[in-house]
């Protein structure tokens, strides 16, 4: 696996590879890799000739400095995992390689950055689009792979690609879960054993919504699911919504083509998100 630390050196290398007709698959990450990330690498390998992964803990998408400080950075283990997964290229830049002093950015996201995650983490998706645009400009991938666990993030990046006319195909990849159902997340390392056990309520509630989807109204599903989570030990619920899967607007009927349930909660100091497609 080749490792690059500068945009210029990576871009120069990839231009030569593309000149030979190679299709580039790109997996942007913030590191602390787990099986969910590796599943993206595996899918990229199947659909691309050359797989590029980036590891960059992006400061502009953290609205809480403590959250940025706590974000895990086990880079040696990450490199070992990528090599084992047969990743071809790792892009590992420093902050001053990706940002210049006084830089500003704003992209109109048609309300997608003002609801759910955007509402609870102001500015988060502006930071996400800012860095993903820089990474796309550097890598110029044919395909980019993102996990369904960050469902809203995928829609945000999709909106950016449409608005800016970027030539990249986005691919949403399934959520990878532990055998007991917990969605894999880099933040799971912060859960103590009791919090880890309590966190299963998120998956169990989403699974219950899916099982009851044909039997209850949207209003009944949401009310009963919220009640389950509010009564679950250790869970501090931020939101549970059943939304149109295309734009995340709240639903009152089941007429939408795609419907998704999304949840966010805190367990101790750790914030987790999860979702489940109910209709697709």
Mean pLDDT of 176-204: 97
**Whether the predicted pLDDT of 197 surpasses 90:** yes
- Out of 34, 37, 106, 190, pick the active-site residue: 37
Mean pLDDT on 214-221: 98
220 pLDDT higher than 90: yes
What are the residue ranges of CATH 3.40.50.620 in the chain? Answer: 2-173
Q: Which residue has the tokens 């490792």?
A: 3
Q: What integer pLDDT is reported at residue 29 of this predicted model?
A: 98
- Summarize pLDDT for 145-178 with one digit per residue, the tens: 999 999 999 999 999 999 999 999 999 999 999 9
What single string gives the DSSP state of each residue in 67-135? Answer: HHHHS---HHHHHHHHHHTT--EEE---HHHH--TT-------TTTTSSTHHHHSTTHHHHHHHHHHHH
- Which helix H or strand E contains 263, and what residues bound it? strand 259-267
Q: Which fold has domain 186-274?
A: 3.30.1300
Residue 64 has pLDDT above 90, yes or no: no
Please state whether beta strands 259-267 and 236-244 pair in parallel, antiparallel, or not at all (unpaired): antiparallel
> For residue 63, what pLDDT is reported?
86
| pLDDT tens profile 237-265 | 999 999 999 999 999 999 999 999 999 99
Nearest-CA neighbor of 154 among 180, 125, 181? 125
pLDDT of residue 156: 98
Quick check: is 190 catalytic? no
pLDDT at 40 over 90: yes
Counting residues of the chain whose pLDDT is more than 90, the rounded percentage is 98
Q: 2-173 adopts what CATH topology?
A: Rossmann fold (3.40.50)
List the strands of the sheet with 270-279, edge to edge: 236-244, 259-267, 270-279
- 139: tokens are 């890598």
Question: What are the start and end residues of each CATH 3.30.1300.10 domain in the chain?
Answer: 186-274
């Amino acid at each position: 696996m080749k490792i690059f630390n500068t945009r210029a050196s990576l871009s120069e290398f990839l231009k030569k590879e593309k000149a030979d007709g190679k299709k580039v698959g790109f997996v942007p990450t913030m590191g602390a890799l787990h099986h969910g990330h590796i599943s993206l690498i595996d899918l990229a390998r199947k659909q691309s000739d050359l797989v590029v992964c980036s590891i960059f803990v992006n400061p502009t998408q953290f609205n809480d400095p403590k959250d940025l400080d706590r974000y895990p950075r086990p880079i040696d283990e990450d490199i070992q995992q990528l090599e084992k997964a047969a990743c071809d290229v790792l892009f590992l830049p420093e902050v001053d390689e990706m940002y210049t002093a006084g830089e500003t950015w704003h992209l109109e996201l048609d309300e997608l950055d003002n609801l759910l995650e955007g509402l609870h983490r102001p500015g988060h998706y502006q930071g996400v689009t800012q860095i993903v645009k820089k990474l796309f400009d550097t890598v110029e991938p044919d395909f980019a792979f993102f996990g369904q666990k960050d469902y809203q993030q995928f829609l945000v990046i999709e909106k950016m690609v449409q608005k800016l006319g970027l030539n990249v195909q986005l691919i949403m990849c399934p959520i990878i879960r532990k055998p007991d159902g917990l969605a894999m997340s880099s933040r799971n390392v912060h859960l103590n054993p009791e919090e880890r056990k309590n966190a299963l309520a998120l998956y169990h509630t989403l699974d219950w919504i899916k099982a009851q989807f044909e039997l209850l109204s949207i209003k009944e599903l949401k009310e009963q699911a919220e009640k389950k989570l509010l009564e679950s030990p250790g869970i501090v619920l931020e939101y549970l919504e059943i939304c149109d899967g295309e734009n995340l607007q709240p639903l009152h009927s089941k007429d939408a083509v795609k419907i998704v349930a999304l949840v966010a909660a805190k367990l101790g100091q750790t914030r987790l998100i999860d979702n489940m497609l109910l209709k697709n």
